Amino acid sequence: METNVQVHDKEFELLLDEDAIAKRIRLMAIQLNVDYENRNPLFIAVLNGSFLFMADLMKEINLPCETEFIKVSSYHGTSSSGSVKDMMGMPANIKGRDIIIVEDIIDSGLTMQYILAEIYKLEPSSVAVCSLLFKPEALKVELPELTYVGFEIPNEFVVGYGLDYDGLGRNLNHIYRAISIEK
Ligand code: IMP
Ligand code: MG
């Protein structure tokens, strides 16, 4: 097992190893396969952070489904600004569809609140959020759509498996948490 990693100026220690992540994703997919049986959901992944999660999740989904990707940029360094700068690629075919938003992590929840507001404008028939990670202590808004959570984690900065620290660390196979962090 790998030990600590350094990303930019910070040291990180292992939080979730790749086997634990893969097992959890298989269970999440089983749940989705059951919950959306006989439906044709539209999965919308939020780039960049969710690219590995989305890929691994979709390999375990056996529903007739479609996949789209939106890109949101809002996050700087290790503390959430909560302001969404940009949103690109919202699909046009949302009306009347069962939408599953796939995210890497829900921190303050502000990014997801913004995305949800945009999606509701397009009149979907249902919306659920599926996030690999969730920091309950950091949540600042109500998020009743958050139905599928891989792991609840402490309010600490994490990298790996798609998640970055100022651009680096997305290619790490495991998820690591910052050992010391000035917020
Ligand atoms: P929120 O708006 O505070 O919920 O933050 C959402 C976005 O910030 C996520 O989609 C991530 O891209 C990023 N983010 C939040 N927490 C972390 C973290 O611990 N590591 C890396 N990125 C994070
Ligand atoms: Mg993200």
Residue with tokens 């196979």: 173
Residue closest to 181 by CA, chosen among 12, 3, 2, 5: 12
Nearest ligand, measured from the Cα of 77: 1
Whether the ω angle into residue 33 lies within 30 degrees of 0, i.e. cis, is no
Q: What is the mean pLDDT of the chain?
A: 93
With pLDDT > 70 as the criterion, what percentage of the chain qualifies? 91
- Pocket-forming residues, ligand 1, beta carbon under 6 Å: 49, 75, 80, 82, 103-112, 157-159, 163
- Supply the pTM of this predicted model: 0.94
Per DSSP bridges, beta strands 126-134 and 158-159 are unpaired
pLDDT digits (tens, 9 = 90+) for 134-161: 999 999 999 999 999 999 999 999 999 9
Per-residue pLDDT of 62-98, as tens digits, reads 999 999 999 987 655 555 556 676 789 999 999 999 9
- Closest C-alpha residue for ligand 1 atom 8: 75
Query: Mutate which of 8, 80, 112, 113 to test ligand 1's pocket (most atoms within 8 Å of Cβ)?
Result: 80
Q: What is the DSSP string of 27-79?
A: HHHHHHHHHTTT---EEEEEETTTHHHHHHHHTT--SS-EEEEEEEE--BTTB
| Residue 41 to residue 22: CA distance in whole angstroms | 22
Q: State residue 106 phi and psi, 5-degree precision.
A: -105, 115
Q: Which residues of 146-155 are buried (b: 16+ CB within 10 A; e: fewer)?
A: bebbbbebee
Active site residue 19: no
Q: How far is the CA of 161 from the centre of ligand 1 (A)?
A: 13
54-64 tens-digit pLDDT? 999 999 999 99
Helix (H, G, I), strand (E, B) or coil at 25: helix
